[in-house]
Protein backbone atom coordinates (compact mmCIF):
# COMPACT_ATOMS: atom_id res chain seq x y z
CA UNK A 1 0.00 0.00 0.00
CA UNK A 2 1.25 3.48 -0.82
CA UNK A 3 2.25 5.79 2.01
CA UNK A 4 -0.67 8.16 1.49
CA UNK A 5 -3.01 5.21 2.01
CA UNK A 6 -1.22 4.42 5.25
CA UNK A 7 -1.82 7.96 6.45
CA UNK A 8 -5.51 7.56 5.78
CA UNK A 9 -5.42 4.32 7.79
CA UNK A 10 -3.82 5.97 10.78
CA UNK A 11 -6.27 8.87 10.62
CA UNK A 12 -9.30 6.58 10.40
CA UNK A 13 -8.01 4.59 13.37
CA UNK A 14 -7.51 7.76 15.37
CA UNK A 15 -11.14 8.77 15.05
CA UNK A 16 -12.56 5.27 15.57
CA UNK A 17 -13.76 5.75 19.15
CA UNK A 18 -15.37 9.12 18.40
CA UNK A 19 -17.05 7.75 15.30
CA UNK A 20 -18.54 4.86 17.25
CA UNK A 21 -20.14 7.28 19.68
CA UNK A 22 -21.59 9.31 16.82
CA UNK A 23 -22.76 6.28 14.84
CA UNK A 24 -24.47 4.67 17.81
CA UNK A 25 -26.24 7.86 18.73
CA UNK A 26 -27.85 8.71 15.40
CA UNK A 27 -31.09 7.43 13.95
CA UNK A 28 -30.91 5.28 10.84
CA UNK A 29 -33.30 4.01 8.25
CA UNK A 30 -33.02 0.81 6.25
CA UNK A 31 -34.34 -0.22 2.88
CA UNK A 32 -37.98 -1.38 3.12
CA UNK A 33 -38.44 -2.89 -0.34
CA UNK A 34 -36.49 -3.85 -3.44
CA UNK A 35 -37.41 -2.10 -6.66
CA UNK A 36 -36.26 -2.22 -10.27
CA UNK A 37 -32.53 -2.69 -10.69
CA UNK A 38 -30.47 0.38 -11.58
CA UNK A 39 -28.40 -1.47 -14.19
CA UNK A 40 -25.15 -1.89 -12.28
CA UNK A 41 -23.51 -2.50 -8.92
CA UNK A 42 -19.96 -1.71 -7.81
CA UNK A 43 -18.20 -4.02 -5.35
CA UNK A 44 -14.92 -3.67 -3.45
CA UNK A 45 -13.73 -7.23 -2.94
CA UNK A 46 -10.83 -9.43 -1.98
CA UNK A 47 -8.98 -11.02 -4.94
CA UNK A 48 -10.77 -14.16 -6.09
CA UNK A 49 -14.06 -13.26 -4.42
CA UNK A 50 -15.99 -12.08 -7.50
CA UNK A 51 -15.24 -14.36 -10.46
CA UNK A 52 -16.72 -14.27 -13.96
CA UNK A 53 -14.73 -17.12 -15.52
CA UNK A 54 -11.83 -15.00 -16.75
CA UNK A 55 -9.22 -16.91 -14.73
CA UNK A 56 -10.91 -20.30 -14.99
CA UNK A 57 -14.10 -20.85 -17.02
CA UNK A 58 -15.34 -23.28 -14.38
CA UNK A 59 -15.62 -20.51 -11.80
CA UNK A 60 -18.18 -17.89 -12.78
CA UNK A 61 -20.91 -16.57 -10.50
CA UNK A 62 -21.23 -13.16 -12.17
CA UNK A 63 -22.38 -13.83 -15.73
CA UNK A 64 -25.64 -15.54 -14.78
CA UNK A 65 -26.39 -12.88 -12.17
CA UNK A 66 -25.94 -10.11 -14.72
CA UNK A 67 -28.21 -11.91 -17.19
CA UNK A 68 -30.98 -12.58 -14.67
CA UNK A 69 -30.87 -9.26 -12.81
CA UNK A 70 -29.90 -6.79 -15.51
CA UNK A 71 -27.25 -5.47 -13.09
CA UNK A 72 -23.71 -5.18 -14.47
CA UNK A 73 -21.12 -6.07 -11.83
CA UNK A 74 -18.10 -3.76 -11.49
CA UNK A 75 -15.32 -5.01 -9.22
CA UNK A 76 -12.46 -3.18 -7.52
CA UNK A 77 -10.08 -5.59 -5.79
CA UNK A 78 -8.40 -4.52 -2.55
CA UNK A 79 -5.34 -6.13 -1.04
CA UNK A 80 -5.88 -5.24 2.62
CA UNK A 81 -8.67 -4.32 5.00
CA UNK A 82 -7.14 -0.87 5.39
CA UNK A 83 -7.39 -0.33 1.64
CA UNK A 84 -11.05 -1.38 1.75
CA UNK A 85 -11.78 1.15 4.49
CA UNK A 86 -9.98 3.87 2.53
CA UNK A 87 -11.95 3.08 -0.65
CA UNK A 88 -15.28 3.05 1.16
CA UNK A 89 -14.39 6.34 2.87
CA UNK A 90 -13.72 7.85 -0.55
CA UNK A 91 -17.11 6.63 -1.79
CA UNK A 92 -18.44 5.66 -5.18
CA UNK A 93 -18.97 1.98 -4.33
CA UNK A 94 -22.09 0.05 -3.37
CA UNK A 95 -20.79 -3.04 -1.59
CA UNK A 96 -17.64 -4.29 0.12
CA UNK A 97 -16.63 -7.79 1.26
CA UNK A 98 -15.24 -6.61 4.59
CA UNK A 99 -13.32 -8.70 7.12
CA UNK A 100 -13.75 -8.22 10.85
CA UNK A 101 -10.86 -5.78 11.17
CA UNK A 102 -12.61 -3.42 8.73
CA UNK A 103 -16.32 -4.00 9.27
CA UNK A 104 -16.67 -2.28 12.66
CA UNK A 105 -14.59 0.65 11.46
CA UNK A 106 -17.05 1.10 8.60
CA UNK A 107 -19.99 0.93 11.00
CA UNK A 108 -18.31 3.34 13.40
CA UNK A 109 -17.53 5.77 10.61
CA UNK A 110 -21.12 5.73 9.42
CA UNK A 111 -20.05 4.47 5.98
CA UNK A 112 -22.40 1.48 5.78
CA UNK A 113 -26.13 1.12 6.30
CA UNK A 114 -28.19 -1.40 8.20
CA UNK A 115 -29.19 -4.47 6.19
CA UNK A 116 -32.87 -5.42 6.06
CA UNK A 117 -32.53 -9.19 6.31
CA UNK A 118 -36.26 -9.57 5.61
CA UNK A 119 -35.46 -8.63 2.01
CA UNK A 120 -32.92 -11.44 1.69
CA UNK A 121 -34.84 -14.76 1.56
CA UNK A 122 -31.68 -16.87 1.87
CA UNK A 123 -30.71 -15.20 5.16
CA UNK A 124 -32.43 -18.07 6.97
CA UNK A 125 -29.83 -20.45 5.46
CA UNK A 126 -26.82 -18.61 6.90
CA UNK A 127 -24.72 -20.50 9.45
CA UNK A 128 -26.12 -19.75 12.91
CA UNK A 129 -22.55 -19.12 14.09
CA UNK A 130 -22.39 -16.16 11.71
CA UNK A 131 -25.87 -14.63 11.69
CA UNK A 132 -25.32 -12.48 14.78
CA UNK A 133 -21.54 -12.34 14.70
CA UNK A 134 -20.12 -9.27 16.50
CA UNK A 135 -18.07 -8.13 13.50
CA UNK A 136 -21.19 -7.15 11.54
CA UNK A 137 -23.88 -6.87 14.25
CA UNK A 138 -24.05 -3.74 16.42
CA UNK A 139 -26.78 -3.15 19.00
CA UNK A 140 -28.85 -5.90 17.39
CA UNK A 141 -28.61 -4.38 13.91
CA UNK A 142 -27.05 -6.26 10.99
CA UNK A 143 -24.64 -4.25 8.87
CA UNK A 144 -23.40 -7.11 6.73
CA UNK A 145 -24.36 -10.38 5.06
CA UNK A 146 -21.91 -13.24 5.82
CA UNK A 147 -20.01 -14.32 2.70
CA UNK A 148 -17.12 -16.71 3.43
CA UNK A 149 -14.70 -17.48 6.26
CA UNK A 150 -11.45 -19.31 6.86
CA UNK A 151 -7.99 -19.32 8.46
CA UNK A 152 -4.72 -17.61 7.61
CA UNK A 153 -2.60 -20.68 6.96
CA UNK A 154 1.14 -21.38 6.95
CA UNK A 155 2.21 -22.13 3.38
CA UNK A 156 5.46 -24.03 2.96
CA UNK A 157 7.69 -25.49 0.25
CA UNK A 158 7.37 -29.29 0.30
CA UNK A 159 10.87 -29.76 -1.13
CA UNK A 160 12.37 -27.95 1.85
CA UNK A 161 9.94 -29.27 4.46
CA UNK A 162 9.67 -33.03 4.00
CA UNK A 163 7.28 -32.98 6.94
CA UNK A 164 4.79 -30.20 7.51
CA UNK A 165 6.10 -27.57 9.97
CA UNK A 166 4.28 -27.73 13.28
CA UNK A 167 4.87 -24.18 14.50
CA UNK A 168 4.78 -20.60 13.27
CA UNK A 169 8.34 -20.32 14.57
CA UNK A 170 9.61 -21.03 11.03
CA UNK A 171 8.59 -17.47 10.05
CA UNK A 172 9.21 -15.73 13.39
CA UNK A 173 12.52 -17.18 14.65
CA UNK A 174 15.79 -17.45 12.73
CA UNK A 175 16.71 -21.10 12.30
CA UNK A 176 18.33 -23.65 10.01
CA UNK A 177 15.76 -25.54 7.99
CA UNK A 178 15.77 -29.17 6.87
CA UNK A 179 17.73 -28.32 3.70
CA UNK A 180 20.62 -27.04 5.84
CA UNK A 181 20.00 -23.38 4.99
CA UNK A 182 18.79 -20.53 7.17
CA UNK A 183 15.24 -19.26 6.84
CA UNK A 184 16.63 -15.72 6.68
CA UNK A 185 15.60 -14.06 3.43
CA UNK A 186 13.28 -16.95 2.58
CA UNK A 187 10.07 -16.17 4.48
CA UNK A 188 7.30 -13.62 4.10
CA UNK A 189 4.81 -11.85 6.38
CA UNK A 190 1.57 -10.02 5.66
CA UNK A 191 1.79 -6.30 4.91
CA UNK A 192 -0.98 -5.14 7.22
CA UNK A 193 -1.12 -3.99 10.88
CA UNK A 194 -3.56 -6.78 11.72
CA UNK A 195 -0.62 -9.20 11.30
CA UNK A 196 0.46 -8.09 14.78
CA UNK A 197 -2.24 -10.49 15.99
CA UNK A 198 -0.45 -13.40 14.27
CA UNK A 199 2.68 -12.64 16.28
CA UNK A 200 0.59 -12.32 19.45
CA UNK A 201 -1.03 -15.69 18.81
CA UNK A 202 2.41 -17.26 18.46
CA UNK A 203 3.63 -15.70 21.73
CA UNK A 204 0.43 -16.74 23.50
CA UNK A 205 1.74 -20.30 23.45
CA UNK A 206 5.51 -19.89 23.14
CA UNK A 207 5.68 -17.38 26.03
CA UNK A 208 2.74 -18.16 28.33
CA UNK A 209 4.25 -15.98 31.05
CA UNK A 210 3.03 -12.95 29.06
CA UNK A 211 -0.53 -13.98 29.84
CA UNK A 212 -1.90 -13.25 26.36
CA UNK A 213 -5.50 -14.48 26.18
CA UNK A 214 -6.76 -12.67 23.10
CA UNK A 215 -4.39 -11.61 20.27
CA UNK A 216 -6.52 -8.50 19.64
CA UNK A 217 -6.47 -7.39 23.28
CA UNK A 218 -2.89 -6.62 24.26
CA UNK A 219 -1.85 -4.56 27.25
CA UNK A 220 1.33 -2.51 27.10
CA UNK A 221 3.68 -5.27 28.33
CA UNK A 222 2.20 -7.87 26.01
CA UNK A 223 2.18 -5.50 23.08
CA UNK A 224 5.81 -4.49 23.56
CA UNK A 225 6.85 -8.16 23.53
CA UNK A 226 4.95 -8.72 20.30
CA UNK A 227 6.53 -5.68 18.67
CA UNK A 228 10.00 -6.88 19.64
CA UNK A 229 9.28 -10.22 17.99
CA UNK A 230 8.17 -8.48 14.81
CA UNK A 231 11.30 -6.32 14.78
CA UNK A 232 13.40 -9.49 14.89
CA UNK A 233 11.26 -11.03 12.16
CA UNK A 234 11.99 -7.98 10.00
CA UNK A 235 15.56 -9.24 9.65
CA UNK A 236 14.24 -12.48 8.13
CA UNK A 237 11.71 -11.02 5.71
CA UNK A 238 13.00 -9.72 2.36
CA UNK A 239 9.57 -8.64 1.19
CA UNK A 240 6.14 -8.30 2.79
CA UNK A 241 3.07 -9.35 0.83
CA UNK A 242 -0.36 -7.81 0.46
CA UNK A 243 -1.21 -8.61 -3.16
CA UNK A 244 -2.28 -12.23 -3.47
CA UNK A 245 -1.17 -12.60 -7.10
CA UNK A 246 2.20 -11.01 -6.42
CA UNK A 247 2.75 -13.46 -3.56
CA UNK A 248 1.99 -16.34 -5.93
CA UNK A 249 4.70 -15.05 -8.28
CA UNK A 250 7.10 -14.55 -5.37
CA UNK A 251 6.76 -18.19 -4.34
CA UNK A 252 7.52 -19.28 -7.90
CA UNK A 253 10.46 -16.95 -8.53
CA UNK A 254 11.97 -15.58 -5.32
CA UNK A 255 13.12 -18.70 -3.47
CA UNK A 256 10.60 -18.34 -0.65
CA UNK A 257 9.88 -21.38 1.50
CA UNK A 258 7.34 -20.30 4.14
CA UNK A 259 4.77 -17.60 4.77
CA UNK A 260 1.39 -16.79 6.22
CA UNK A 261 -1.15 -16.75 3.41
CA UNK A 262 -4.73 -17.38 2.39
CA UNK A 263 -5.90 -20.76 1.06
CA UNK A 264 -6.50 -18.94 -2.25
CA UNK A 265 -2.78 -18.62 -3.01
CA UNK A 266 -2.15 -22.20 -1.95
CA UNK A 267 -4.84 -23.43 -4.33
CA UNK A 268 -3.44 -21.41 -7.23
CA UNK A 269 0.11 -22.68 -6.68
CA UNK A 270 -0.96 -26.29 -6.24
CA UNK A 271 -2.99 -25.93 -9.44
CA UNK A 272 0.21 -24.88 -11.20
CA UNK A 273 2.02 -27.97 -9.89
CA UNK A 274 4.20 -25.92 -7.55
CA UNK A 275 5.75 -27.73 -4.54
CA UNK A 276 3.65 -26.11 -1.83
CA UNK A 277 1.21 -27.20 0.85
CA UNK A 278 -0.34 -25.55 3.90
CA UNK A 279 -1.02 -26.24 7.55
CA UNK A 280 -2.56 -24.66 10.64
CA UNK A 281 0.28 -24.93 13.22
CA UNK A 282 -0.09 -25.94 16.85
CA UNK A 283 -0.49 -22.32 18.00
CA UNK A 284 -3.67 -22.01 15.93
CA UNK A 285 -4.35 -19.30 13.37
CA UNK A 286 -5.91 -15.93 12.88
CA UNK A 287 -8.65 -15.83 10.30
CA UNK A 288 -11.30 -13.87 8.52
CA UNK A 289 -15.07 -14.01 8.47
CA UNK A 290 -16.12 -11.68 5.69
CA UNK A 291 -19.44 -9.86 5.39
CA UNK A 292 -20.81 -8.02 2.37
CA UNK A 293 -21.72 -4.51 3.52
CA UNK A 294 -23.79 -1.81 1.80
CA UNK A 295 -22.49 1.76 1.53
CA UNK A 296 -24.76 4.33 3.16
CA UNK A 297 -24.69 6.43 -0.05
CA UNK A 298 -25.13 3.55 -2.50
CA UNK A 299 -26.67 4.70 -5.78
CA UNK A 300 -27.59 1.15 -6.80
CA UNK A 301 -29.37 -0.19 -3.72
CA UNK A 302 -31.76 -2.45 -5.63
CA UNK A 303 -28.99 -4.14 -7.59
CA UNK A 304 -27.00 -4.38 -4.36
CA UNK A 305 -29.80 -6.25 -2.59
CA UNK A 306 -30.18 -8.53 -5.60
CA UNK A 307 -26.47 -9.33 -5.31
CA UNK A 308 -26.73 -9.94 -1.56
CA UNK A 309 -29.38 -12.60 -2.19
CA UNK A 310 -27.38 -14.09 -5.07
CA UNK A 311 -24.25 -14.23 -2.89
CA UNK A 312 -26.01 -16.65 -0.52
CA UNK A 313 -27.11 -19.13 -3.17
CA UNK A 314 -25.82 -22.64 -2.58
CA UNK A 315 -24.00 -22.76 -5.92
CA UNK A 316 -22.21 -19.43 -5.44
CA UNK A 317 -21.24 -20.38 -1.90
CA UNK A 318 -19.95 -23.81 -2.91
CA UNK A 319 -18.14 -22.66 -6.04
CA UNK A 320 -16.43 -19.81 -4.17
CA UNK A 321 -15.37 -22.09 -1.32
CA UNK A 322 -13.81 -24.46 -3.86
CA UNK A 323 -12.03 -21.63 -5.67
CA UNK A 324 -10.76 -19.74 -2.63
CA UNK A 325 -10.23 -22.62 -0.20
CA UNK A 326 -12.67 -21.00 2.21
CA UNK A 327 -15.76 -22.15 4.08
CA UNK A 328 -19.30 -21.21 2.94
CA UNK A 329 -21.47 -19.09 5.18
CA UNK A 330 -24.35 -21.32 4.03
CA UNK A 331 -23.71 -24.85 5.41
CA UNK A 332 -26.06 -26.51 2.90
CA UNK A 333 -23.58 -25.50 0.18
CA UNK A 334 -21.22 -28.12 1.57
CA UNK A 335 -23.16 -30.92 -0.09
CA UNK A 336 -23.88 -31.54 -3.75
CA UNK A 337 -21.47 -29.01 -5.25
CA UNK A 338 -19.51 -30.52 -8.13
CA UNK A 339 -16.51 -28.24 -7.65
CA UNK A 340 -16.30 -28.35 -3.86
CA UNK A 341 -17.17 -32.01 -3.39
CA UNK A 342 -18.80 -33.44 -0.30
CA UNK A 343 -15.53 -33.31 1.71
CA UNK A 344 -14.48 -29.81 0.65
CA UNK A 345 -15.92 -28.00 3.65
CA UNK A 346 -14.24 -30.37 6.09
CA UNK A 347 -10.93 -29.97 4.27
CA UNK A 348 -11.27 -26.17 4.30
CA UNK A 349 -11.88 -26.12 8.07
CA UNK A 350 -15.65 -26.14 8.67
CA UNK A 351 -15.13 -27.81 12.06
CA UNK A 352 -12.29 -25.48 13.11
CA UNK A 353 -14.46 -22.41 13.70
CA UNK A 354 -13.72 -22.29 17.43
CA UNK A 355 -9.96 -22.61 16.82
CA UNK A 356 -9.69 -19.47 14.71
CA UNK A 357 -9.02 -16.04 16.16
CA UNK A 358 -11.04 -13.99 13.69
CA UNK A 359 -9.80 -10.57 12.66
CA UNK A 360 -11.28 -7.63 14.49
CA UNK A 361 -10.22 -4.05 15.17
CA UNK A 362 -8.25 -3.67 18.45
CA UNK A 363 -9.66 -1.08 20.85
CA UNK A 364 -8.28 0.66 23.93
CA UNK A 365 -11.04 -0.58 26.21
CA UNK A 366 -10.93 -4.35 26.38
CA UNK A 367 -12.25 -7.18 28.55
CA UNK A 368 -11.81 -7.12 32.31
CA UNK A 369 -11.67 -3.35 32.37
CA UNK A 370 -8.10 -3.44 31.07
CA UNK A 371 -6.47 -0.75 28.97
CA UNK A 372 -5.15 -2.20 25.72
CA UNK A 373 -3.25 -0.84 22.76
CA UNK A 374 -5.66 0.51 20.09
CA UNK A 375 -5.47 0.00 16.34
CA UNK A 376 -4.02 3.47 15.73
CA UNK A 377 -0.86 2.41 17.55
CA UNK A 378 -0.81 -0.96 15.75
CA UNK A 379 -0.87 0.84 12.41
CA UNK A 380 1.84 3.34 13.32
CA UNK A 381 4.21 0.73 14.71
CA UNK A 382 3.78 -1.81 11.94
CA UNK A 383 4.44 0.82 9.28
CA UNK A 384 7.64 1.69 11.16
CA UNK A 385 8.74 -1.96 11.35
CA UNK A 386 8.19 -2.61 7.66
CA UNK A 387 10.04 0.58 6.77
CA UNK A 388 13.12 -0.38 8.78
CA UNK A 389 15.91 -2.79 7.90
Looking only at the bridges linking them, the beta strands covering 145-151 and 258-261 are unpaired
Residues 141 and 228 in one domain: no
Q: What's the CA gap between 178 and 186, in Å, rounded?
A: 13
Shared-domain flag, residues 214 and 137: no
Among the listed residues 321, 366, 288, 349, the one whose alpha carbon sits nearest the alpha carbon of residue 103: 288
**Whether residue 197 sits in one domain with residue 224:** yes
Q: Both 95 and 178 in a single domain? A: no
Distance, in Å, from the CA atom of 198 to the CA atom of 229, rounded to the nearest integer, reads 11
Tell me which residue of 343, 325, 323, 324 sits closest to 334, measured CA to CA.
Answer: 343
**Backbone dihedral angles phi then psi of residue 279, each to the nearest 5 degrees:** -155, 155
What is the value of pTM for the model shown? 0.85
**Confidence band for 130, pLDDT divided at 50, 70 and 90:** very high
Residue 359 has pLDDT above 50, yes or no: yes
Q: Do residue 47 and residue 106 come from a single domain?
A: yes
The domain spanning residue 54 has which CATH number? 3.40.190.10
Residue 269 has pLDDT above 70, yes or no: yes
| Contact criterion met (CB below 8 Å) for 121 and 306 | no
Q: How many angstroms separate the Cα of 272 from the Cα of each of 162, 204, 281, 286, 335? A: 20, 36, 24, 26, 27
- For residue 94, give its domain range: 40-150+288-358
Residues 184 and 54 in one domain: no
Mean pLDDT for all residues in the chain? 92
- Co-location of 248 and 304 in the same domain: no
What is the CATH classification number for the domain harbouring 229?
A: 3.40.190
Residues 374 and 255 in one domain: yes
Q: How many domains does the chain have?
A: 2
Average pLDDT over residues 204-214: 97
* 145 located within any domain: yes
pLDDT digits 0-9 by tens, 300-351 = 999 999 999 999 999 999 999 999 999 999 999 999 999 999 999 999 999 9
Whether 142 and 181 map to the same domain: the answer is no
Say whether both 248 and 378 belong to one domain.
Answer: yes
- Residue range 143-198, pLDDT digits in tens: 999 999 999 999 999 999 999 999 999 999 999 999 999 999 999 999 999 999 99
- Within-domain flag for 304: yes
| Same domain? 72 vs 190 | no
Amino acid sequence: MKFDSYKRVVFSAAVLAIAFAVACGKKETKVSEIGQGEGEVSIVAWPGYIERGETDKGYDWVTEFEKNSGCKVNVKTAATSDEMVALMNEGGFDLVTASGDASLRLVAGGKVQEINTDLIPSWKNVDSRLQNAPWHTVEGKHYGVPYQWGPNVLMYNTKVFKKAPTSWNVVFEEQVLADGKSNKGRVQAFDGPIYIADAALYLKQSKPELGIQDPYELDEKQYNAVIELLKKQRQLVPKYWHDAMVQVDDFKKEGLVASSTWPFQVNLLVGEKQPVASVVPKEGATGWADSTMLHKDSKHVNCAYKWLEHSLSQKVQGDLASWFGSVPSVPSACKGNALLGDTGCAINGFNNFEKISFWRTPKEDCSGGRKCIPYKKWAEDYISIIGSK
